[in-house]
A = this chain, B = another copy of it.
Amino acid sequence: MVLLDLNQIAEVAGARLSNLHSDSKHSVDHASSLGSAGPGALSFYSHSRHREQLRNTRASAVLLRETDQQDCPVPALVCENPYLGMARALQALYPIEEVEHCIHESAIVDAQAQLESPVQIGAHCVIEADVRIGANSILGPNCVIEKGARLGMGCRLHPQVTIHAGTLLGDRVEVWSNTVIGSDGFGYAQEGREWVKLRHQGHVRIGDDCEIGACVSIDRGMLDDTVIGRGVKIDNQVQVAHNVEIGDHSAIAGCAGIAGSAKIGRYCQIGGAAGVQGHVTLADGVIITGMSKASQSIEESGIYSSGTAIQKNTAWLRNAARFKQLDQIARALREGDIHE
């Protein structure tokens, strides 16, 4: 357990003690939400939907914006972005343990694998020939690292991850459980009406400081590589197909699917269950809202959507039936009446 006084929290969080409610002698040893916080808890306030909880909180300190100080009954730490402050404070309150070199006796490590000390290899892991794993990396139980894969320094693989042959992870890449990186892409030629497989020879390259969620699949490229830039964050259940390129610091929310050879720029945000069509290119800074389909290339940053809004099924049925007539409806109007 880490005990930090409010000056220490202020420093890591880039905050300052409020004039209204401050007492730097207070200290915190854990984090809680405003509603469930008690003594010793650090909390944060960043959205008006929690104002009532702020007014009644029993946290020992709250990170908040200057304008919200008056609603806070306890010591306040003022910063511009309390959510970012909380991210920093959480890293200080819950530091990652130092890695002690330990290879579980049940792990199967090929004699030709190079593990840079200290690394932690969990029970029942399988590390094949010519794998290299950088120092300070941790593999949870039951991970499989196929031949020739490389993990940089400080990587963290949670249990049951599969890293296929030749995959390259940068430094400080975190991969959550049951995720698969480096499987063959979905590429077949047609011969008559049957499918002939293209054996994929490309790899997957993942940049430094990426985080990949649970149950994600990322396919290797067919001839060239699938490439994921630095600082990219990928949520659970995402599919990244062969030869996709994702630019630095983009974020892909849960259940999204990126089809083959799509190129996503830097600083993009792909919403939950959204899709990016094959061979499409998205410029830097494009945001695709949840469940939308980026069916064509987008050259300008901004927010893009498709789909329709939720409504009662009875009304929706009527409107959906009319959608099938939409071109006829439009043509029933005089062309000049439809103004762009």
Contact = CB atoms under 8 A, between A and B. Distances in A.
Interface of A: 30-33, 35-36, 43, 49, 81, 83-84, 86-88, 90-91, 94, 104, 106, 108, 122-124, 126, 140-142, 144, 146, 158-160, 162, 164, 176-180, 183-184, 186, 188-191, 193-199, 201, 211, 213-217, 219, 222-224, 231, 233, 235-237, 239, 241, 249, 251, 253-255, 257, 259, 266-267, 272-273, 275, 277-279, 287-296, 298, 302-333, 337-340
A236 B258 CA distance: 11
A-B complex: 7 closest residue pairs judged by Cβ atoms? A84-B189, A303-B313, A332-B337, A217-B236, A318-B327, A180-B214, A162-B177
Q: Copies of this chain, how many? A: 3
Contacts of A254: 186, 217, 239, 241, 257, 259
Given A141-B126, A311-B324, A306 B296 contact: no
Contact of A289 (B235, B272, B313): B313
A16 B25 CA distance: 75
Contacts of A338: 325, 328-329, 332
Contacts of A273: 257, 273, 275, 293
Contacts of A323: 308-309, 319, 323, 326
Contacts of A326: 318-319, 322-323, 326
Contacts of A177: 144, 162, 164, 180, 183
B272 A290 contact: no
A199 B326 CA distance: 46
Contacts of A197: 87, 91, 211
- Most B CB within 10 A of own CB, among A108, A214, A291: A214
